[in-house]
Amino acid sequence: MKILVTGAAGFIGSHLCERLLQVNDIEVIGIDGFITPSLKHTKLRNLKLLLSHPRFQFHQVDLRYANLEKLLDSVQVVYHLAAMPGVRTSWGTDFQSYVDHNIVATQILLEAASKCSLKKFIYISTSSVYGEKTGKVAEDSIPTPLSPYGVSKLSGEYLCKVYQESYEIPIVILRYFTLYGPRQREDMAFYRFINGILHRKPISVYGDGKQTRDFTFIKDCVEATIAVLYAKGVIRETINIGGRERASILEVISILEELLNQKAILDFSNRLKGDPKDTWADITKAQRLLNYYPETTLKAGLEQQIHDIRFLDV
């Protein structure tokens, strides 16, 4: 089976590609546009193991300008992870990048996919499409994103559905809830917290720190994502992928202080625009369709991320 993964050099994409290649009959074509120059070093590190694998091909190319007809030749499954990430940076004139990479690039890829005979086109979305909700959130909850980033990802979902109806592309949508673990981007909260405590520097906490998240460990998320490959009855479905534990930001910091045996220096500032107070995934559908039961405790996952960051410091 030949699989195309967009965003292959990213945090999630690189883990997904490595896991796919553990299956003997799978070849992976990875695409990444390196659209954020500051992440180039990180992405090259993410690709290190992949580039030496005989069943992996890598193309550094912007999806908007790629020869997608050639790249999609003989491909049976597409995982579309490539996107401009981040809630904080999606406001103002920066939104144009989100339009270009999250909406326009998705439409161009779908247009190319409409000319292929795919088994599955798996679009990776986000819990940010839900906005502010109370309690567990199921997939039929009305999306009300709070940020331009959330709007851009929801627009990608709607594009997928339009192409599904008009061209019968076999779409599956996964909505990820707050991923963490080894290789997490340096601008993301857990990386900042761990790095700050390790180096005895103040760490920024937006709002009162009591906001809660459904934290999903990267390995659990990837297992759910791989399960879509073989699952039946998932075409046209939207599926939440959440974690084993929810916690507040202050609770996470407390766990990190225990693991690192070091007190954090907290620098509180205003709550971010577009940041929901709480997230909580109802994963009933993922359990039913994907046999998905996240295994990693928050503490165990944080231990693995700490090890990864310490390795970088060596």
For 148, the token pair is 């331009």
For 284, the token pair is 């009933």
Report the catalytic residues.
149
Give every CB contact of residue 131 below 8 A, 6+ residues apart in sequence.
143, 144, 145, 146, 150, 276
β-pair partners for 77 = 3, 120
List the pLDDT tens digit at each of the 314 positions of the chain: 999 999 999 999 999 999 999 999 999 999 999 999 889 999 999 999 999 999 999 999 999 999 999 999 999 999 999 999 999 999 999 999 999 999 999 999 999 999 999 999 999 999 999 999 999 999 999 999 999 999 999 999 999 999 999 999 999 999 999 999 999 999 999 999 999 999 999 999 999 999 999 999 999 999 999 999 999 999 999 999 999 999 999 999 999 999 999 999 999 999 989 999 999 999 999 999 999 999 999 999 999 999 999 987 64
Q: How far apart are CA 226 and CA 129, in angstroms?
A: 22
Of all helices (H) and strands (E), which one includes residue 122? strand 120-126
The CATH homologous superfamily to which domain 181-213+245-279+295-313 belongs is: UDP-galactose 4-epimerase, domain 1 (3.90.25.10)
For 72, the token pair is 């999609």
Enter the DSSP assignment of 137.
B
What CATH number has the domain spanning 2-179+216-241?
3.40.50.720
Q: Where are the domains of the chain?
A: 2-179+216-241, 181-213+245-279+295-313
Identity of the residue numbered 242: G
